[in-house]
Chains A and B, each alone.
Chain A
Amino acid sequence: MPEDLAEVYKSTYAALVRFLYRKVWDAERAADLAQEAFARALVHRPDNARGWLFVVAANMARDEARRQARERRHLTLLTQESETAVPAPDEAIHAEQDRVRVRQALEDLTPRDREVLLLWDAGQSYDEIATQTGLARGAIGTTLSRARRRLVEAYEKGNEAEHVARG
């Protein structure tokens, strides 16, 4: 096992799980996929392990999304079920509702804006994001500024809509 992969594992695992969670919205599945990505890295021994891992993780999340679409197991349904099924303290309910709202806001972004934002939040540099997404490095700042603005706007719009609905 290459030494640096162990190092990357230590430093990147949590970020990769978070990155995947924001795509599959299932904590266990995100951890599974992250571990699978590292298991593949053990075999492939990529030169730039960190960048490679995020590329592989993004692909796996995409496959996962397609599979889920095929199986018609929409996560919205799962989320709603889990909300009603598990009696949770107020704090947990609020946290869950907030998570659902942020998720909805993230899903309102264009795929490109969302990808760039998630990669940045996972600790990738502009150079790495450019390599991974195929965007020009000079376009990353613009993309990020737009993605951040739309995320905040979509989140606040969702909040307002909810308040109106509740009266």
Chain B
Amino acid sequence: MSHVDDGTLHAYLDGELAPVEIEQLESHLAGCSGCRARLDEERALIERAARLLGVAVPPGPDHAAPPLHQLRPPRPVWRRLRVPLAWAATVVLALGLGWYGGSLRMAPSTAEAPTTPALDAARAPVAQAETRPATPAAGRRVPPPPAAIGALADRPARVESDERQAAPSASVASNAIVATPAPAFARDLLGVAPVAIPGYVVRSLRRNPSVAREVIVEQEIAGVVVSLFERPIDEGAQAGRQDDQGLVVDGRAAKATANERLARLVGGLRVEISGPLPMDSLSKLLELIRP
């Protein structure tokens, strides 16, 4: 056996050599004083390096690990996604305007429709939203919103359509952050900003067309899509749905009765979760949400 290289000496001293390699090495060392001296040097080097690393530890007293079930990610997802969201907002807006413009061309009778959608959403009276053919129902998969929701309902439905159009390209670029902003409609609808599970990409955010004042947030978790159904707490009571039973307000998830969805109160919102994950995973995800 030729002389031993440094890597082998370190692996030997680290206890990471295979038995057969140890045997070879030790028989060489027995007859080679040079390598024995190097072995001592490398041992001293390893100790020295370990001592130095021992200095690079968090200062102050050791903080005990909090109980595992109390863990929560430190930063809310909205803040972490602010830059990508702003970027995505631009894209969605561009897509939306393009789509809007396209529909205008296809339906000349809508040429009178205001070209400032935000103002439109804020001002348009209910009657106008009902009578105006500006929202081309032909391309839309969801039923038109009930008149009672008025102009607000008009915008969210359009946002959803935009996302459906954007979906194919989004699924190709799977590594890109595919997120939509928390548009004003969601905040207006809920009274507070929508919430999301921290640390996961928000795939879409849209109004639930079949429930007044409910927003659906879709997030990608380990390759599957989990949906959050969020609505104001008072709205849940007004809707007279049964599934408010079983809620525990202190933050622990509890089973809902009406539709087997887990639900929790977060800030001023009632949040239900569903997705192709085990119940305890969904429960855990639900618990991660912070207002």
Contact = CB atoms under 8 A, between A and B. Distances in A.
B53 A117 contact: yes
Contact of A148 (B5, B45, B59): B45
A102 B6 contact: no
Interface residues of B, number: 41
Most chain-B Cβ atoms within 10 A of its Cβ — which of A96, A141, A144, A152?
A: A141
A148 B68 contact: no
Contacts of B281: 43, 45
Contacts of B50: 121
Given A43-B221, A141-B10, A105 B73 contact: no
Interface in B99-158: none
A132 interface: no
Nearest to A26: B58
B45 A30 contact: no
Contacts of B59: 27, 92, 95-96, 99
A18 interface: yes
A30 to B, nearest CB: 6
A42 B284 contact: yes
Nearest to B58: A27
A151 B49 contact: yes
Contacts of A39: 71-73, 199, 288
B55 A44 contact: no
B3 interface: no
A117 to B, nearest CB: 7
Interface residues of A, number: 55
A36 B45 contact: no
B190 interface: no
Contact of B53 (A32, A44, A102, A143): A102
B6 A32 contact: no
Contacts of A139: 7
Contacts of B9: 141, 145
Contact of A155 (B14, B46, B52, B285): B52
A54 to B, nearest CB: 16
Closest 5 pairs between A and B when the two form their complex, measured CB to CB: A142-B7, A141-B11, A27-B58, A141-B7, A148-B49
30 contacts: A5-B68, A14-B62, A17-B58, A18-B57, A18-B58, A27-B59, A31-B58, A35-B65, A36-B71, A38-B68, A40-B73, A42-B284, A43-B281, A92-B59, A99-B59, A102-B55, A106-B56, A117-B53, A118-B53, A120-B14, A138-B7, A140-B7, A140-B11, A142-B6, A142-B7, A144-B10, A144-B11, A145-B10, A147-B49, A151-B49
